[in-house]
Structure formats: C-alpha cells, structure tokens
Amino acid sequence: MSIEFSKKLTVHETPIPGVVLYDLPVHGDNRGWFKENWQREKMLGIGLPDFKPVQNNISFNEKAGTTRGIHAEPWDKFISVATGRIFGAWVDLREGPSFGAVFTAELDPSRAIFVPRGVGNAFQTLEDNTAYTYLVNDHWSADAQGQYTFLNLADETAAIVWPVPLADAELSDKDKAHPRLADVVPMPAKKILVVGADGQLGKALRELYDGDASVEFAGRAGFDLSSEAAFAERNWRNYSTVINAAAYTAVDTAETAEGRTAAWAVNVSAVARLARAAVEHDFTLVHVSSDYVFDGVREGHDEAEPFTPLGVYGQTKAAGDAVVSVVPRHYIARTSWVIGEGNNFVRTMASLAGRGIEPSVVNDQIGRLSFTEDIAAGIQHLLASGAAYGTYNLSNDGEPQSWADIAADVYELSGHTRTAVTGVSTEEYFKGKDAAPRPLNSVLDLAKIQSTGFHPASVASRLKDYLS
C-alpha cells in the first residue's frame, strides 16, 4: 500500500472520549518521504492536549500478522507508524460510562492517534518490517507494569475483527492469557490530593468529599511539605489535581524573627515545591490566597489589582501567589476573614458573649467573612466546571461589614444585646501592642467567580447557620 502524500493536518474524533485520530502531511519524491511526526505548536493548534511527552519508544515487528495488546497504560500516548502499516484497536478500560467502547483504524506513516491514560491499545502489523512508534508522558519502568489494565485480544464483547485471524497471528503467551472484559477491573481516574488537610479548610474539604474514593487527604503527618524527600517519594503522576490547604496564618507572629522564617517556609518555599511538581508532572495546582496581599487602600479588590502587601504574612502570601501563577494549570482562590472548624473570630465572640464580656472590636477594617464550606464548594466548582485557569476572589457575599459589625451580629444571634460590642479604630485597638499592619479594606469583588456560575451564600445566612 502506497502512502498518501501531502494530506492536510486534520483531526478526527472517535467514539472513545479523548482518543483522537490525526491525518499527518507526508512529503515525498523520488528519494523517499519526510514528515513532521510531532510538532508541538501545530498539534496544540488543532486541539491535541499538551501532554508533555518524556520518552519515545519504537516497536519493530519483522513479520506481518504480529499482534500486541490489549494494554491500557498509566500514561498518555501519541502513536504513529514510521514504516509499514498496522491495524490498530483501542478499547476504553477506564472507569466511567464509556468503559468498553471500541475504535479501530488502519495507520500508515500518514496517520497518528492520541490515546489517553487508561485506554487499551493494540495493533496488528499488516506488512513485514513495520516500525510502530509512540511518545509517552511518563518514564517506563518495570514497576509501572503493575498499574496496567489488560484485555484479551479475543474478547467477545469488544468483538474486534482482526485482519489476520488470531489463530494465524503471532501473539505472546502473556497476551493470550489476558482477561475478558467482564473480568477486567477498570483503571481508576487520577486522584485529587488535598495537602494541609487538617486545618480549617482541609476539614471542610474532607466533609465535602466524604466518601469520594477519588480524593486523597494528607495532613502534616501524612505529607511534610517542608521535606524534599517527601516530594521525591510521592508518585505525582497518580494525581490530576493537588489542592494546597496548608498555610501559615499567624499574622502577628510572622513579624518576629522566628515567625518570619516559618511564614516563608510554609507560604513560599513549600508552595514552590508544589509548583515545581505541578509543572514537572502536569497536574492542576489549587492554591488559597488572602486579602492581605493588598494594602486595603482601594474600596474593593478585583483579581487584576497589583500586590501591595503591608506585613510579612501578606508578603509571603503574595510571593506564593506569584509562584503558583507560573504553573500552566492553576487556580488561586483568594479569600478574606476565614471562618471554619477551629479557633476563629466568630467562635471567640460567641464565647465572650456567653461569658457576659463586653468587648472592644475594630470598626474601621471592612470586609466579608469567608466560610470554609463555601471556599471548599467554590474550589470544587472551579475544578468540576472547567473554568478558565487563574485567580478567583472567593468570599461569602453580602453587604461589607466591619469586625465590630460582625461581632454585634454574633452577640445578637447568640441572644445578647448588640450594644455590648464597642467599636474602636485599628490604631486605638493595637496601641502599645506588637501587631502586624492590617489592610483597612478587604472587600473582594466576586464578579469573576460568579460569572462561572458559582454564587457564594451570604455572610448573614452562613453566620446564622454556623452559630446554630
């Protein structure tokens, strides 16, 4: 069979989600032929995922009828033929509604196919001396074979019609022994990993994803973000997404020598390690930011505002945001005044109310509370909806308030009088105290995340639920 020269680079969808067939331009003359087998810019331009190949493999097959498969591997592949011709068969062996879907096609040097992780791959050579080539985005190792999923070439459900009957084909004993579809354990999807899973946001994410086997949680004991060894030991290829719920949040202590070191270690150095892993292993990194990256001079803050942090904590959060922003697939969820399970402002005020104490509370810092259940739900929404990567403000909605306003609400909802709370200025409250500078306006503009279809609950409704 002669090669068809000068095809236009063309995309053909298949019945298997993510499996895409490509026509490749091959240029030939009396000397032979030439093609661009893999050209990243052109391939991305027509929609091929930027799957970042790291290894190029070639299978040389001396005789027509040589048959290999059906192997579903834990990486993505871009498959083509260097010389000769093959009949290819692909079966979806991933968990999900397309499990068992089949696609077949002939490939010569003018055709290629992209096969995502978990889709079974098989081929049969139609000519002698056929070279079958594939780019993969993970390094092959003997240990990796334990993550393969296999299907028998003769499976009756897939019902692949092989050009050379299997009885006459060249097969390995291993391939002959693979299970039928009814006995195949589908390859699970890559997981979401939540690090810093024991903090306020981590606990909310645990509750949100409770019972979901595709989400894995690691607290400080399970994964030490400060340890290079911990990063090296983890197989990052098993994750599609990492949510970083860890942070150093002791705003005032961060101004001390010891606190400054700790803040930079957690909020910047550990984040840089995660960002490097995200770039190297091509997963989505979700990071949580803070209103403290701004000086609070503007009345409201949108996602495009330049960083103007006042203190060490804000400086480390801004630095962490800058690091994460270079990750191709990232979400930065910028929050303010976080309230969740654990010690926080609302619980402190409720405790004071219960003890009959009449506190002085700052009345010139304006913002909105961010309840961790809504931060967690917003993160889940960004991931599930496929929203454009980038930074999103994520607080609760409603009329901006001062800390004194919120304290008065807590007193009232707790059955006490609002007038028990006295408002004072930030300057007066911190007079004579060692304290970090605070932004006076922390109101985050929510238009961007609302445009994705996520509408955070109002502070008033969440506060009422939280106290009840």
Residue 192: asked if its preceding bond is cis (omega within 30°), the reply is no
**DSSP 3-state assignment of 119?**
strand
Pairing of strands 338-339, 370-371: parallel
Query: How many Cβ atoms sit within 10 Å of the Cβ of residue 23?
Result: 15
Query: Which one is catalytic: 134, 209, 239, 411?
Result: 134
- Judged on CB neighbours under 10 Å (0-12, 13-18, 19+), 196 is buried
Instruction: Output the CA–CA distances (angstroms, integers) from residue 216 to 194, 235, 313, in the order listed.
Output: 6, 13, 28
Q: Is 301 annotated in the active site?
A: no
Q: How far is the C-alpha of 45 from the C-alpha of 18, rounded, in Å?
A: 16
Structure tokens at 157: 């459900």
Among 439, 443, 446, 444, residue whose Cα is nearest residue 292: 439
Query: Which one is catalytic: 12, 22, 27, 71?
Result: 71
Instruction: Output the CA–CA distances (angstroms, integers) from residue 353 to 369, 402, 422, in the order listed.
Output: 19, 18, 13
Q: Is 429 annotated in the active site?
A: no
Q: How far is the C-alpha of 304 from the C-alpha of 288, rounded, in Å?
A: 16
Structure tokens at 341: 């399970």
Q: How far is the C-alpha of 190 from the C-alpha of 397, rounded, in Å?
A: 33
Amino acid at 423: G
> What H or E segment, with its residue span, contains residue 331?
strand 330-335
Q: What is the DSSP letter of 261?
A: H
Instruction: Output the CA–CA distances (angstroms, integers) from residue 274 to 139, 214, 277, 445, in the order listed.
Output: 20, 20, 5, 28
- Which residue numbers are catalytic? 71, 134
